[in-house]
Structure formats: structure tokens, C-alpha cells
């Protein structure tokens, strides 16, 4: 294994081990199969992780979408916006969260900033132990560029959420395959 790969794996492991899952049960409880709609969002590479999570939510039988796609349905009170934002202050995403809040849409946030303005809007939030673009020094420094460590940790965190949702809803890999796209 290359030395760089070992360093990346060590960083991710350190970030995950240093994450205290305060708010996790509230975060998990916002995701339901009650007919409400879920819209996931995030900017840049964070958005890619959120898009993958929206796909897995659909595999779980949940009506989930990624904001920015042309097929996002009408949303309103009782629906859920799940936001990924390392800093919790990215202007475009913060504005979307503010709009969602005024429309009665619940907000679940995954961030790496305990003091982000989005946390004040969120009904539930989880803070990952990674640096973000607003970090001035961090408990978990990274050799990787920009916000890479948050993006990687977010994707792994969301995959672990899927495992807990499988248990919550009595889903299996086989039942999820039944909802997977067969045209690919």
C-alpha cells in the first residue's frame, strides 16, 4: 500500500473515532417511511456524497431526491431537507436551508462546525470531527487538500446511516436490490 493511501486511511479513521455522535438519534429519527419527501443537498464534492445518500434512501423505499435535479417534487410542511455542509455557512446552501425553514420543512444537518449558522436552523444535526473551509486550526488536521477529509468522512458516515436505517425499517440487501435501477 502506498504511504499516501495509508495516511488518508489513518486520517479518515482518526476523524471517525473522534466524532461524538451527539444528536445522532435525533438525526436518524427525522428519516421516515411515512410518505413524506426527503430532499438532500450539498455543494461541490459534498453534494456528490449527498447525491449518493439520496440514491440509497430510494433503495430503502424512501421518496428521496437531490436538490438541483429537475425531478424534485413539491415539498412543504412535514418534508425533510438533509444538508451536508462542512462549514455550515456556504452561502447558497444556507439560503436554501433558510427558505426550507420558512416553508415548514424540517432540516437535518451533517457538518463539521459546532457553531455554524445552519445548526441554528436544523431540527437535528451531527458534527463530524474534521476541518472545514472556515477552520482555523483543527483537532483533526489534514494533509489532504481543502475539505477532502470532511467529504470522505461524510460519505462513510452516510453509508453507516444506511445500515441503521436498514435495521430501523427491516430492510435487507435483497429488498434494496429490488428497488435498484435495472437499466444500467
User: pLDDT over 90 for what percent of the chain?
Assistant: 88
**Domain span holding position 135:** 21-174
In this structure, is residue 180 part of a structural domain? no
The tens digit of pLDDT for each residue in 119-171 reads 999 999 999 999 888 776 556 789 999 999 999 999 999 999 999 999 999 99
Q: Quote the number of domains for the chain.
A: 1
5 located within any domain: no
Q: Judge whether 169 lies within some domain.
A: yes
What DSSP line would sit under the chain, residue for residue? --HHHHHHHHHHHHHHHT---TTHHHHHHT---SS--EEEE-SHHHHHHHHHHHHHHHHTT--EEEBTBTTPPP--TT-EEEEEESSS--HHHHHHHHHHHHTT-EEEEEES-TT-HHHHH-SEEEE-SS--TT-SS-SS--SSSTTHHHHHHHHHHHHHHHHHHHHHHT--HHHHHTTS-S--
| Structural domain contains residue 160 | yes
**Does residue 9 fall inside a structural domain?**
no
Q: Would 136 be classed as within a structural domain?
A: yes
> pTM value?
0.94
14 belongs to a structural domain: no
Tens digits of residue pLDDT in 17-49: 999 999 999 999 999 999 999 999 999 999 999
In a domain, 4, yes or no: no
Check which CATH number belongs to the domain holding 143 and give it. Answer: 3.40.50.10490
Question: Known catalytic residues?
Answer: 151
Amino acid at each position: 500500500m502506498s504511504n499516501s493511501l495509508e495516511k488518508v486511511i489513518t486520517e479518515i479513521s482518526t476523524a471517525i473515532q473522534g466524532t461524538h455522535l451527539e444528536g445522532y438519534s435525533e438525526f436518524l429519527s427525522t428519516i421516515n417511511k411515512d410518505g413524506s419527501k426527503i430532499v438532500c443537498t450539498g455543494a461541490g464534492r459534498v453534494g456528490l456524497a449527498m447525491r449518493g445518500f439520496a440514491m440509497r434512501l430510494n433503495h430503502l423505499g424512501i421518496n428521496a431526491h437531490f436538490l438541483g435535479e429537475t425531478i424534485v417534487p413539491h415539498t412543504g410542511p412535514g418534508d425533510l431537507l438533509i444538508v451536508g455542509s462542512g462549514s455550515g455557512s456556504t452561502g447558497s446552501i444556507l439560503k436554501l436551508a433558510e427558505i426550507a425553514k420558512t416553508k415548514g420543512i424540517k432540516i437535518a444537518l451533517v457538518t463539521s462546525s459546532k457553531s455554524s449558522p445552519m445548526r441554528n436552523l436544523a431540527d437535528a444535526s451531527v458534527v463530524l470531527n474534521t476541518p472545514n473551509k472556515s477552520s482555523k486550526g483543527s483537532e483533526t488536521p489534514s494533509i489532504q487538500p481543502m475539505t477532502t477529509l470532511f467529504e470522505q468522512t461524510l460519505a462513510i458516515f452516510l453509508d453507516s446511516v444506511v445500515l441503521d436505517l436498514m435495521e430501523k425499517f427491516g430492510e435487507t440487501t435483497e429488498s434494496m436490490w429490488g428497488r435498484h435501477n435495472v437499466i444500467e
